Amino acid sequence: MTAHRRMDWAALLRAGVQRLRLTPCEFWALTPAELALMLGQSAGVAPMARDELDALLAAYPDEERSDE
């Protein structure tokens, strides 16, 4: 079983708003991975392998929009 780390949302919001100059709306629209990257915490994150991308594409294929 893996231990779950709690997110310090107050500190992250403070960093996003004060350090990155994001609006609260922009902050909350980010994923945790996007925020970590913007804060320079991307070290140690492995890029997605091609087979992982293929599996993701198979699970969530693009669909043609009917309004086009």
Taking only the tens place, the pLDDT of each residue in 34-53 is 888 888 876 666 777 899 88
Q: How far, in Å, CA of 39 to CA of 53, rounded? A: 25
**Average of pLDDT values for 18-39?**
91
pLDDT of 1 above 50:
no
Cα distances from 60 to residues 3, 35, 40, 53, in angstroms, run 29, 24, 29, 10
Is residue 20 within 8 A of residue 40, CB to CB? The reply is no
Closest to 27 measured CA to CA, from 36, 39, 17: 17
9-23, 31-45, 49-63: which has the highest mean pLDDT? 9-23
pTM: 0.52
